[in-house]
Amino acid sequence: MDVEIIIRPDRDTLVRPERIEHVEFGTLFTPNMFHMKYSGGNWHDAYIEPVKHLQLHPGATVLHYAQTIFEGMKAYRQKSGDIVLFRPEMNIARMNMSARRMQMPEISPDFFLKAIKALVGTEANQVPELPGTLYIRPTMIGTAPQVKVAASKEYLFYILTLVSGPYFLGTSGRDPGAVSVYVALDKSRSCYGGTGGIKAGANYAGTLETTSKAYALKCGQVLFLEARDVPYRERRVEEMGGMNVCFIKNGALYTPRLHGTILPGVTRDSLVKIAKARGIEVHEEDIPFGWVEDGLADGSITEAFACGTAAVVTGIKSFHFDDGRDLAPSSAVPGPITQQLFDAIVGIQFGDAPDEFGWLHKVL
């Protein structure tokens, strides 16, 4: 695909705050965006210009049948001053996988990366230092006006960037921090044959009720189990509302295997590789919740943590149930392996450690 990117940026507005820790994640947009259109079987009209409201027909496919996908990634300002992306090829491949599942047009990986770098380069003065990042949100929506269950023939692809601090307010972003997690026993986020393994917007809309309940219970996240009508202890652990989950038992790392209902997280994959390189035993396997419950009760599960692009690595201090029970890992939170993995991945991203895996892509 050979599409020219026309840049009409607003370079004058600096949105970076003095205290990045006080910024609520996902709320501070930078002035410019990338967008392009799809019609007639081709992508065209690629622009970087000031953020503007979208104009959609009220019958647009995205509004009635949720034909929308997105990604989440970050740009990092290293201590050297370089601005880098972390494994963007994985996000690009995952978005094209999402597009195939949702009957949407794919985007050339080379052009996709070119568009991301062009926008991040335009917003370079917005990229904060550690612990801040520039969060990048590529999005695609179906725009053709049609009130029928059919794929759109017209699409809008756009990329927004946001100045971001820690995902969980109250954490510093300079260490893993810790949150409590609500265990959802009466709601699931996905099912076999569904869209749990891609980043479709409707996946997340279906978790909002449960997430609101978790917040009311002073929990920062929700742990979802598989959608199967069996006793809860037999149901497999899946993931959280917006991130993957890992457990440390007897010094080994355990995380649910990918089987179509769990998002293949970039951070999850990176931590698995880092752990193996550091001699930590790794198990990617089905995890019945009874295994978790028993391990927390007898102390053999010493650590648990959430991981994702937004949250990075965040310790789990307790699992909360509707019956009032709280089960906690046996070590202090964050535990030593959680801390080790956090330090390793953040060290690569911000340039404190060598990029031993070749994961970084330099923007500037």
Model pLDDT for residues 65-77, shown as the tens digit of each residue:
999 999 999 999 9
How far is residue 254's CA from residue 304's CA, in Å, rounded to a whole number? 9
Those residues whose C-beta lies under 8 Å from the C-beta of residue 69, and which sit 6 or more positions away, are 95, 98, 99, 102, 104, 139, 140, 198, 199, 200, 201
Task: Tell me the pLDDT of the chain (364 aa) as tens digits.
Answer: 566 888 888 877 888 787 888 889 999 999 999 999 999 999 999 999 999 999 999 999 999 999 999 999 999 999 999 999 999 999 999 999 999 999 999 999 999 999 999 999 999 999 999 999 999 999 999 999 999 999 999 999 999 999 999 999 778 788 899 999 999 999 999 999 999 999 999 999 999 999 999 999 999 999 999 999 999 999 999 999 889 999 999 999 999 999 999 999 999 999 999 999 999 999 999 999 999 999 999 999 999 999 999 999 999 999 999 999 999 999 888 999 999 999 999 999 999 999 999 999 999 8
How far is residue 27's CA from residue 229's CA, in Å, rounded to a whole number? 38
Encoded tokens for 106: 């794919």
Could you tell me the pTM of the whole model?
Answer: 0.95
120: enclosing H helix or E strand: helix 109-122
Q: In 3-state terms, what secondary structure has residue 336? A: helix
- Give the residue among 282, 302, 283 at the shortest CA–CA distance from 292: 302
**Which residue do the tokens 């909360």 mark?**
320
The residue length of the chain stands at 364
CB 87 within 8 A of CB 359: yes
